[in-house]
Amino acid sequence: MSRIKSPSHAWPPANSSAPPAAARPSLPQRASYVQILVYLAFCLLILAVPLVIDDAFLLNKYARYLALGLAAAALSLSWGYSGILNLGQGVSFGLGAYAIAMHLKLKTSPVHTGAAGLPDFMVWNNVQTLPWFWEPFHSTLFAILAGMLLPVIVASLLGWFMFRARIVGVYVAIITLAMLVVTNLLFIDQQRYTGGFNGLTDLAWLEIGGVEFDPYSPTFYYLTAGCLSVCLLLGLALTRSKAGLILRAIRNDVDRVRFFGYDVAAYQILAFAVSAGMAGVAGMLYAMVLEFASPTFMGVPLSLSMVIWAAVGGRGSLLGATIGAILVNFMQGSLSETFLDTWQLILGALFILVVLFLPNGLASLIDMAGERLGRAPPRARTEEPAAAAPRAMGTFNTKQRG
């Protein structure tokens, strides 16, 4: 009953005299080169710090801030770019920290407990032989790889578990929070293998190819700044790639993206896993700079603090989140002990103000300044898609039906 018309009109119509596609970069395009330059400038800046400061304690302190900055940057990748509010960033952070700490603990063990090489806390807990999963951590390479890949694997599994079932918004936050608590409890419970409440203390220095990374030295600072720079630039590349664009599209309207043939869950898992890998690196650096790893790394307060730092700096910008973390910790670190409690009070208030009035954090101030100067493009206001809302107010999810 229906006849097929011959495809006489090729569409779009072939038009040989079509004008060449826009060749000159438009204004927003130029502004995005500025973005690369800003990131490069930041990396050079942090790498140059030891040139002007040679106080070992300060460098150690700054290295700590940079490590936390990396954790916040990782969070902004999943939260700001992809709309996955991960309240359990501490899982990845802690796994990274414990992986490297296990290696560094094994290095000190012969010194403390004789040639048997058992870590001291195992001796106290009457462990006779080194557990099998501790064995490979004798290798530096294995420990470093584990510190990165373990969080990636765990996040991929959890991501697969959540995102294949199309869990979004608030429920992602609750699941990640629950997983954080579970991990924390397990590490505390398995005292014989993890050191329990005390964690792994009294760690050796990392040594790669004869270079020792004394946490109170420029060498270690360079390691931290270098890791942060590499992660930031890789993260920037990801966000500027088409995959980054798809992630932003997913955050904007998760259902619409599917109808263009994108496997949304795969993209969410990607962002979640990359973010976890970066957090793992941050955890490794943090454990080395403090020379211990403890269950508090996986505590609810630290993970939520990371969220605060990222929000203050700007959740939608890797660099913004990094600077937010560095800034908050810098201010916190430069206050006297007695003022610290009051500072927490101020921090809480600051955080509420940012959430209420500056949802994109300090980074949006720069954008606003840029807009006023007419150079930078307007940045997307971070508004949560309605789909992310808990369905308690059950009104606006009714489907269109004909």
Partner 1 sequence: MAYLELHDLEVSFDGFKAVNGLSMAVERGELRCLLGANGAGKSTTMDLICGRTQPTGGRIVLDGADITHEPEYVRARRGVGRKFQVPSVFKELTVRENLEVARSHRPTPWKTMRLFPSARLDERTQKVIEIVGLEDVLGTKAAYLSHGQTQWLELAMLLVQNSALILMDEPTAGMTIQETRKTSEIFNRLRGQHTVIVVEHDMGFVREIAETITVMHQGKLLSEGSIAHVESDPKVMEAYLGSGGISHA
Partner 2 sequence: MDIVLGQLFTGLSIGSILLLVALGLAIIYGSMGVINLAHGEFVMLGAYSTWLLQSAFGLPFLACLVLVFFMVAFAGWVVERGVVRFLYYRPLDTILATWGIGIILQQAVRLSAGAELRYVQTPEALAGSIDLLGIAIPSYRLFILAVTAGLLLLTWFLVQHTEFGMKLRAVTQNREMASCYGINSSRVFSLTFAFGSGLAGLAGALVAPIKSVAPDMGTNFVVDAFMVVVVGGVGSLLGTVASSGILGGSTAGLAFLLNDTLAKALVFLAVVVLIRFRPRGLFVDRVRR
58 binds, among partner 1, partner 2, none (CB under 5 to 8 A by kind): none
Chain residues binding partner 2 by CB under 8 A are 85, 87, 161-162, 165, 167, 169-171, 173-175, 177-179, 181-182, 185-186, 188-189, 300-301, 304, 307-308, 311, 341-342, 344-345, 347-349, 351-352, 355-356, 359, 383-384, 388-395, 397-399
- The least CB distance from residue 4 to partner 1, in Å, is 4
Helix (H), strand (E) at residue 111: helix 89-113
From the number of C-beta atoms within 10 Å of its C-beta (0-12, 13-18, 19+), residue 284 rates as buried
- The least CB distance from residue 260 to partner 1, in Å, is 4
Cα torsion 76, 82, 85, 89 to 10°: value is: -50
The answer to whether 232 and 323 have CB atoms below 8 angstroms apart is no
Nearer of residues 91 and 284 to partner 2, judged by Cβ: 91
Chain residues binding partner 1 by CB under 8 A are 1-13, 15, 18-19, 21-29, 238, 240-243, 245-246, 248-249, 251-253, 255-264, 266-267, 270, 377-378, 380-381, 383, 399-402
d(CA 288, CA 94): 12
253 binds, among partner 2, partner 1, none (CB under 5 to 8 A by kind): partner 1
87 binds, among partner 2, partner 1, none (CB under 5 to 8 A by kind): partner 2
CA 201 to chain centroid: 25
Encode 221-239: b = buried (16+ Cβ within 10 Å), e = exposed.
bbbbbebbbebbbebbebb
Closest CA to 88 of 162, 140, 16: 162
Beta-carbon contacts of residue 362 (< 8 Å; ≥ 6 apart): 312, 313, 314, 320, 323, 324, 327
Nearer of residues 32 and 140 to partner 1, judged by Cβ: 32
241 binds, among partner 1, partner 2, none (CB under 5 to 8 A by kind): partner 1
304 binds, among partner 2, partner 1, none (CB under 5 to 8 A by kind): partner 2
- The least CB distance from residue 162 to partner 2, in Å, is 7
Nearer of residues 114 and 390 to partner 2, judged by Cβ: 390
- The least CB distance from residue 284 to partner 2, in Å, is 24
Nearer of residues 33 and 124 to partner 1, judged by Cβ: 33
270 binds, among partner 2, partner 1, none (CB under 5 to 8 A by kind): partner 1
Nearer of residues 194 and 224 to partner 2, judged by Cβ: 194
Nearer of residues 158 and 282 to partner 2, judged by Cβ: 158
Nearer of residues 4 and 52 to partner 1, judged by Cβ: 4
- The least CB distance from residue 137 to partner 2, in Å, is 23
Closest CA to 363 of 73, 62, 61: 73
What is the chain's alpha carbon radius of gyration, rounded to the nearest angstrom?
Answer: 24
**Cβ neighbours of 31 (radius 10 Å):** 14
Nearer of residues 8 and 126 to partner 1, judged by Cβ: 8
CA 8 to chain centroid: 53
Closest CA to 305 of 72, 35, 62: 72
Backbone angles phi, psi at 164, to 5 degrees: -65, -30
- The least CB distance from residue 320 to partner 1, in Å, is 17
28 binds, among partner 1, partner 2, none (CB under 5 to 8 A by kind): partner 1
- The least CB distance from residue 1 to partner 2, in Å, is 37
- The least CB distance from residue 169 to partner 2, in Å, is 6
Residue 95: both structure tokens together: 């796994």
Could you give the residue ranges of the DSSP H alpha helices within 139-169? 140-163
